[in-house]
Amino acid sequence: MTITPEQAGAALLSIEDASRHSAILLRYRRAAPFFILWGCCWALAYGLCNFYPNHMGVIWSVSDVIGILGSWRIMRARPITARHHGAWRLMAAVAVVAAFVAASFSVLAPQSGQQVATFITLVFAAAYALFGIWAGWRLVVIGGLVACIALAAFFWADAQFNLWMGMAGGGGLVAVGFWLRRA
């Protein structure tokens, strides 16, 4: 049995497509625990801020430390080959985003905690969407959904802002983590 050059080319393209699809699914599975962790941190912090608004700084500081330590633990639990290539880039990206947010606040001077929370959420939503352009369409969808939730909470939730962001935003990130894990 002989294979024509066209059949061989089609087979190679099929293999390339399968390889690309497998790589996307692997990225989704690797991202899933981070979405679950940060969704839980987000839900807990916003929920606590709703009941203890005078302690927002402490609540978010503790939540962020838990999220960072949890993220570090997730990365350390991976095989060396899986974490070697991306760990420093991820930490560098987080540092760039933190510097951008700090610089933006020095220029824009937000007037409320809701503005601060919404802006930070929108920055991360944009980061998810931008990363998704390379990593897979599900992350683009996640970025869009997180942005929509944040904007809806900012414009319409008023007194329930923290509960809305905690339940819809944090719960949404947890749900997305499970969605990515099953991909």
Q: What is the DSSP string of 109-147?
A: --SSHHHHHHHHHHHHHHHHHHHHHHH-HHHHHHHHHHH
What pTM was computed for the model?
0.77
**Which tens digits make up the pLDDT trace of 9-34?**
777 777 887 777 777 777 778 888 99
Q: Give the tens place of pLDDT for each residue, 136-181.
A: 788 888 889 889 999 999 999 988 999 989 888 888 889 888 888 8
Contact 128, 32 (CB under 8 A): no
Enter the tokens of residue 143: 């970025």
Name residues whose C-beta falls within 8 Å of residue 119's C-beta, 6 or more positions apart in sequence.
Answer: 101, 104, 105, 108, 110
> Tell me: the pLDDT tens digits for 49-96?
999 999 998 999 999 999 989 988 998 887 765 555 666 777 787 788
- For 46, how many CA atoms within 13 A lie in the half-sphere containing its CB? 26
Are residues 125 and 152 in contact, defined by beta-carbon separation less than 8 angstroms? no
